[in-house]
Structure 1
Amino acid sequence: MQKQITEANFRLLLDSLLFKGQRVVGPRRSGSTVLYEPLASASDLVIDELPRRSVKEAFFPVCEDLLEYRKEGQQVQLTDVTPERFPETVLIGVRPCDAAAVPVLDAVFSWDYKDQFFLERRARTTIIGLACTTADDACFCTAVGLSPHDPKGADLMLTPLVGGGFLVESQSDKGEAFLETWKDRFAERDGTQPQELATPATQPFDLKKIKAWLDKHFEDAAWDSIATRCVGCGACAFVCPACHCFDIVDEGSEKAGKRRKFWDACGFSKFTNHASGHNPRDLQPKRYRNRIMHKFKYYDDKFGQTLCTGCGRCIRICPVGIDIAGVLEEIEGK
C-alpha cells in the first residue's frame, strides 16, 4: 500500500503517538551527537543526519539484566526479568542500513536458541524507515547489495518527496496496521515525485569473489598487512548495526547480585582467552581476520547473507583510519 503524508501531518502524527503514551524512538540530538533515543516531542526528531550508533540497541541493549539472585542461609532466590514488560515501541527515521541489519540479527537470536529478550522487543516494535537523500565518503550500502531506499527490515518506508512530505509504503502487516490506525494523518498518493536519492561512491563488490578468496586464505601473509594498524579498541563492533557478540557475567557478591548480558567484540585481546591461558587469537591480525571472516564468510556460510550493511560507521569512527571498504577492495583485487 502506498500513501503520502505532509511534513506538518508527520510531526502531528509523532506528537499524537507521544500524547497517547506511545514510546517513540528516533534520531535525536544528544549534546553534539545524534543518537537513536526516546523522543519527548516531534521537534526532537533529526532526519538529516545518520545517528552515530546503530539502531540495534533498541533490541539488543549495551547491557541488560537477565536475572537477580539473593542468598539467605542455604536458600538461593532467583528473580527472572520478564520480557513481557518491554514496552510497545515505534522506531522512526530508521536508515536503510540500520533497518536491513535487523533481519540479520533475527537469524542469530532465533537460531539454535530463542533469545526471548531480543525476540520480545522485536515483536513489540514497529520500524518506520527513512530513505537517504545524502551520503558521505564512508557510505557503501550499494556495494554490499543494498540501496539508500532499500525497505528490508522496515514495516513502513518513508521517502522524501519533492516540495516536502513523504511517500509512505507499507512493507509488512505491522505497517498496514499502523496505516489503518492513523489513516486520518495519511493521504492518497497524488503523483508528487520522490527526491533524488543518495548515490554512494563505492562500486559494488563481487561478494562471491571475496568469499571465494576468504574460503582459501585463512592462513595468508596478506592478513599481516591488512590488519597491522588495528589497535583492538572494539569501536567498529560497537557502532556496527550487525555485530552481535556478547558476554554474560554475574555481578555482585556471594549474598546478592545480578546476571547481566554485555556487548563484547572479537577485536578485544581477551575475547578468545581460554581459562588455561591459551589464546588462539593472540595477535591483532588474527582478530581482525576474524572480523572480516565473520562478516563475509562465516555468517554467509551459516545464514546465506552478508553480516554488513555498508553503513560506514566503522570507517568514520576508527581511530587509526581502517577502511573496511578499502580492505574488501584489496581482497577483491587479489
Structure 2
Amino acid sequence: MSKMITEQNLRLLIDTLVKEGARVVGPRQAGAMTLYEPLTKGDDLVLDQLPRRSAKEAFFPVCETILSFERKEGKTTVQDVDVCTVPETVLIGARPCDAAAPGILDAVFSWDYKDEFFLERRRRTTIIGLACTKADDACFCTAVGLSPAEMKGADLFLTPLEGGGYACEAPTEKGERLMARHPQLFDDAGNAKPLPLAEPAVEKLDLQKIKAWLDGNFESPLWYGIADRCAGCGACAFLCPACHCFDINDEGTADKGERRKHWDACGFGKFTNHASGHNPRDIQNKRYRNRIMHKFKYYDDKFGQTLCTGCGRCIRHCPVGIDIYAVIEEINKMGARDQGPGTGKD
C-alpha cells in the first residue's frame, strides 16, 4: 500500500532521528548557500533548492584521518582509525542526481582494494531521495539516463504531492525498516496526485556512441579548443557527485602525526607530476580530456557505468563557462556523423 508523509511529519521525523542519536544530513541554509550539512532539528531542512555541493561528502569527506603515528624512545607505534565509530546516518532530501552517485562510486571503492572508510559509511547510511519539480538550464540528468523521478540509490523516495506532503516509496529494505520504525508518521496515500516533475530541456545522449567516438579520437582538436578556457581550478571535480580522486599525505612531525586522505582533482597541474619531474599531462587540454575520458569511457570500460549524473553543478559554477553537456552533445553529434578516428593512444 502506498504511503505519504506530511511536511510537518517529515520534519518531525528528523527531530525523532536526532533524538535517537542518528546523524541526519540534509540541505540546510549556510549563509548565502544551501549545503548538505548535519541537521540538528527538522526546521533546518531546506527542500526548494539544490545544494551547491553534492552529497558525496556524507560518504567521502573532503579530508579524513586514516591512521595516527607516534615515535617514542626510538619506537614508532601506529594507531588505525576504528571505522566502527562511524555513526548511523540518514541522508535526507537527496535529489536523484545525488542519490544515484554513491552506488556508482561503490564500484571503484570496492574494486582491487576495499576502502572501508567509504564502504562503512555506505553501510550505515539510509538515503531518502526527493523527486525534482523544477530544473534550470544546467540540469541534464535525462541526457545521461536518469530522471527527475529516478529512485536509483534511494532507500526511501519522496515525491511532492498536490496540496502538500510527499508520496513515499521504499525501494530497499533500509527504507522499509525506517518506515516500520516510525509508522505513526506515515499515512495511506489515498488518491493524492503528485506534482508535475521537471524534465530538463535536453536531448538524451547516446552514451555508447559517445564512448565509441572517444575510443578513436584521443588526439582530436576538440580538446585544444576546450583547454583554451579551462583554468584548472578543480571546482568541477569538487562539486561533482561522482568525482572521487584523492591524495594521501602524512601530516605532523617526525615524532607524531596523522596520515590523511584529501580530495584531489585531475584538472590540477601537478595531479600527474612524477617524482622525476615528468608530467604526462603537462598541459591543460590533456587534463580536461582526461576528465571527459574518465567519465564517459574509462569508468565504463572498467565498471560498465557512466561517471556522471547530470547534476549540472560543474556548469553552474565553472568560472570560465565550460559546459560539459555542450561538450558531450558535440561529441554525440560527431559520433552520429561517423567521423573518422583520430590518431594516438593514451
Instruction: Indicate the residue corresponding to 1:33 in structure 2.
Output: 33
Conserved in 2, the CA contact under 8 Å of 1:155 and 1:172?
yes
Provide, for residues 241-291 of structure 1, a one-character-per-residue CA deviation record: whole Å limited to 9, x for no partner.
000000000011111110000000000000000000000000000000000
**1:75 aligns to what?**
75
CA–CA separation in structure 2 for the residues paired with 1:237 and 1:190: 43
The more displaced of 22-31 and 289-298 is 22-31
Secondary structure at the aligned position of 2:197 is classed as coil
**Aligned letter for 2:32?**
S
Determine helix, strand or coil for the equivalent of 1:308.
coil
Q: Write the distance in 2 (CA, Å) between the matches of 1:317 and 1:43.
A: 28
**SS of 1:333's equivalent?**
helix
Match of 1:174 in 2: 174
Matches within 5 A, 1:57-68: 57-68=57-68
- 199-208 or 125-134, which moves further after superposition? 199-208
1:31 is matched by which residue type in structure 2?
G
Deviation at 1:87, TM superposition (A): 0.5
Secondary structure in 1 matching 2:276:
coil
Q: Deviations over 1:57-114 (max 9, x none)?
A: 0000000001110111220011111100010011100110000101111111011111
CA distance in 1 between partners of 2:246 and 2:43 (Å): 35
CA contact (8 A) 1:4 1:188 kept: yes
* CA distance in 2 between partners of 1:20 and 1:151 (Å): 26
- Structure 1 position 208 matched with structure 2 position 202: no
* Matching residue's letter, 2:307: L
Query: Matches of 1:279 and 1:20 in 2, distance apart?
Result: 51
- How far residue 191 of structure 1 moved from its aligned partner, in angstroms, is 1.6
Which amino acid in 1 is paired with 2:153?
G
> What is aligned with 2:293?
293
1:183 maps to a residue whose letter is: P
- Between 1:278-287 and 1:21-30, the stretch displaced more is 21-30
Residue 325 of structure 1 aligns to a residue whose secondary structure is helix
In the alignment, what sits opposite 2:331? 331
**Structure 1 CA distance for aligned equivalents of residues 9 and 286 of structure 2:** 52
User: After superposition, what is the alpha-carbon deviation per residue over 1:218-244, rounded to whole angstroms, capped at 9, x for unaligned?
Assistant: 112221013321010000000000000
Deviation at 1:329, TM superposition (A): 1.3
Aligned residue number for residue 320 of structure 1: 320
Q: Deviations over 1:102-143 (max 9, x none)?
A: 111111101111101001111111000000000000000001
Return the offset for 1:305. Answer: 1.1
1:306 corresponds to which letter in structure 2?
A: T
User: What are the equivalent positions in structure 2 for 1:151-230 lying under 5 Å apart?
Assistant: 151-230=151-230
CA–CA distance in 1 between the matches of 2:259 and 2:76? 14
Residue 263 of structure 1: aligned partner:
263
Partner of 1:96: 96
Which SS does the other structure have where 2:134 is aligned? Answer: coil
- Whether contact under 8 Å (1:23, 1:90) holds in the other structure is yes
Deviation at 1:20, TM superposition (A): 2.3
Name the CA distance, whole Å, in 2 between partners of 1:52 and 1:8: 25
Q: Deviations over 1:184-217 (max 9, x none)?
A: 1111220211000011011111111111110001
**Equivalent residues in 2 for 1:106-117 (5 A)?**
106-117=106-117
Give 3-state SS (helix, strand or coil) of 2:98's partner.
Answer: helix
Shift of 1:31: 0.4
SS at match of 2:279: coil
Matches within 5 A, 1:10-25: 10-25=10-25
Amino acid at match of 2:13: L
The answer on whether the counterparts of 1:2 and 1:170 sit within 8 Å (CA) in structure 2 is no
Conserved 8 A contact 1:133-1:196: yes
SS of residue paired to 1:213: helix
- Quote the Cα distance in structure 2 between the aligned partners of 1:282 and 1:73: 45
| Paired amino acid for 1:308 | C
2:270 alignment partner AA:
K
* SS of equivalent to 1:68: strand
Report 1:299-318 matches (<5 A).
299-318=299-318
TM-score w.r.t. length of structure 2: 0.95
Question: What is the alpha-carbon distance in structure 2 between the residues aligned to residue 260 and residue 271 of structure 1?
Answer: 17
Write the distance in 2 (CA, Å) between the matches of 1:210 and 1:257.
46
TM-score (norm 1): 0.99
SS in 1 for 2:289: helix
Distance 1:170 1:222 in 2: 44
Identity rate, percent: 67
Q: Give the whole-Å Cα distance in 2 for the aligned partners of 1:40 and 1:184.
A: 21
Q: Which has the higher mean CA deviation after the structures are superposed, 261-270 or 221-230?
A: 221-230
Query: What's 2:344 paired with?
Result: none
Distance 1:188 1:268 in 2: 52
